Structure 1
């Protein structure tokens, strides 16, 4: 019960975003603008600052990074045969492929802070610094395979990859973060998670059946069942405990990133497929995340 209550406020913000977007006449342009603000400004500021000032102890986090990459790659491999298995069009297959392993970082960092405090946020930020480029590489590569947008062009313009790479580089170089810059980035970072959760809720949409129910069920099973189960198995196999174990399982159990829809739409894939995965996965994760965390 305590676990569910700790998680609940984050999902209340998602529900609030959903209600506000439907009950008040803000207009779709408002929510799309907020989504872009979070994706291109607020969240990159949060990632850069978290990584730039983090105490990077690779002797401690090296194993966690390897395990996080392991369950992420497992999701990619499990998602690869879906297109042929269900005889999907390339646009549908490429759009759904990314939904099997991408994760909602807004929900992840918000839950890490709510459940385990700042140490968990710092640990999650370090893992995300490696996982975000990895999942974006795979997603952009698959989407670009049938798109007129080049792979490298999309990669070098991705704000999440840029912010994580520069944050790591800043930290490794041992550069100090000037006080005014740190304060400015902190102000932006403080607004990133609530704004991100509201935009997640606003992006939820109920879509009519598109004839791909089997594929949707497969992708959701991979994302919400197979990946956290693999992560839990790795935690047990390597005898991880405390914050390390909790963060690893939490990141594995997250629903698909809202930005999956943006990326699919921008690269000419099937946006409706990503929207369905985001909506259904986010709703189901309200039950699945507490379940997986309770098994630790």
Structure 2
């Protein structure tokens, strides 16, 4: 594994060249709310620009499409291929990521069976919104991992995204697949995140690398994807329609922002992850849900407006859950 760049927010080493990783210098005094501010300020900028300028939702829908289908896959590909990958040393980390995803899916679909909740959970709303409990906002995850651990953080989060996207897409699409225009396999094979990750892994394992002259272009595309992706997440926020199923909303958001970080904390110890892997897994577990949740729900004939409301609240709650995961659970 590559060594993380020294990150000295709230902590320091005597010498920058001491060879320590970012979390050898970890201090519980790190202000994670301050660390998260740049990313969430971009989300706020996207929201304000979309609501109060001529750059309305129509414009940002196109930006989101560009980022999702081009910029973001390029970033994933570059993050994976540029750093030598030791699959053997990452086995436990990948296993923890899969276990976290499976736990989230199981919790999400168990909600109607929670004592006293069954009669308050509309079945159709649940099928559409269960995905909110376990899917994640990759834009925020990549931006945060870069700030937390540089190249090593990007490599680890890219691995998690690569192994989790197929699993969580199956978990989200399977209950709604009868309404899809394409079959489940087609949905997965056409997913740009899966394609970018698969190509990056193949290139890495084959020992390939990008030509030096192409590196600056690809790096700038990756940087643009993070800023535009975060602003697009803010532009897509809505609060309408949440009154239709308040108990369901509370349940899925509790899973996303409280139970998932707790599960990740337990898995990090079960799989004996190192400090950097633990922190990236905790950050991953506490991310806001995917902004594309409402797109999927609407495309398959469900209540997209309700899911959009959940996405909006989840984006705001991400500040709290990430601070909880990184500032409280990480220190235990």
1:250 has 2:279 as partner: no
Name whichever of 175-184 and 219-228 sits farther off: 175-184
Q: Distance in 2 between matches of 1:128 and 1:25?
A: 34
Q: 1:155 Cα shift?
A: 1.7
Q: 1:135 to 1:209 in 2, by over 3 A?
A: closer
SS at match of 2:182: coil
TM-score of the superposed pair, with normalisation by structure 2 = 0.83
Instruction: Tell me which residue corresponds to 1:32.
Output: 61
Instruction: Tell me which residue corresponds to 1:158.
Output: 191
1:134 has 2:163 as partner: no
1:50 has 2:79 as partner: yes
Q: 1:281 Cα shift?
A: 0.9
1:22 has 2:51 as partner: yes
Q: Distance in 2 between matches of 1:3 and 1:26?
A: 31
Q: 1:33 to 1:83 in 2, by over 3 A?
A: farther
Q: 1:106 to 1:28 in 2, by over 3 A?
A: same
Q: Is the 8 A contact 2:158 2:197 kept in 1?
A: no
Q: 1:99 Cα shift?
A: 0.9
- Pick the structure with greater CA Rg: 2
Corresponding residue to 1:60 among 70, 89, 95: 89
Instruction: Tell me which residue corresponds to 1:13.
Output: 42
Any unmatched runs of 5+ in structure 2? Answer: 1-29
Q: Is the 8 A contact 1:155 1:161 kept in 2?
A: yes
1:263 has 2:263 as partner: no
Corresponding residue to 1:240 among 264, 270, 273: 273
Instruction: Tell me which residue corresponds to 2:131.
Output: 98
1:41 has 2:75 as partner: no
- Please identify runs of 4+ aligned residues in structure 1 that moved more than 6 A: none
Q: 1:184 to 1:94 in 2, by over 3 A?
A: farther
Instruction: Tell me which residue corresponds to 1:279.
Output: 312
Name whichever of 10-19 and 109-118 sits farther off: 109-118
Instruction: Tell me which residue corresponds to 1:74.
Output: 103
Q: 1:180 Cα shift?
A: 4.2
Q: 1:81 Cα shift?
A: 3.0
Q: 1:148 Cα shift?
A: 4.3
**Greater share of helix:** 1
TM-score of the superposed pair, with normalisation by structure 1 = 0.93
Q: Distance in 2 between matches of 1:111 and 1:29?
A: 27
Q: Is the 8 A contact 2:81 2:203 kept in 1?
A: yes
Q: Is the 8 A contact 1:149 1:267 kept in 2?
A: no
Q: 1:238 Cα shift?
A: 4.0
Q: May I ask how many residue pairs the two structures share in their alignment?
A: 295
Name whichever of 133-142 and 172-181 sits farther off: 172-181
Q: 1:153 to 1:239 in 2, by over 3 A?
A: closer
Instruction: Report 1:179-258 matches (<5 A).
Output: 179-258=212-291
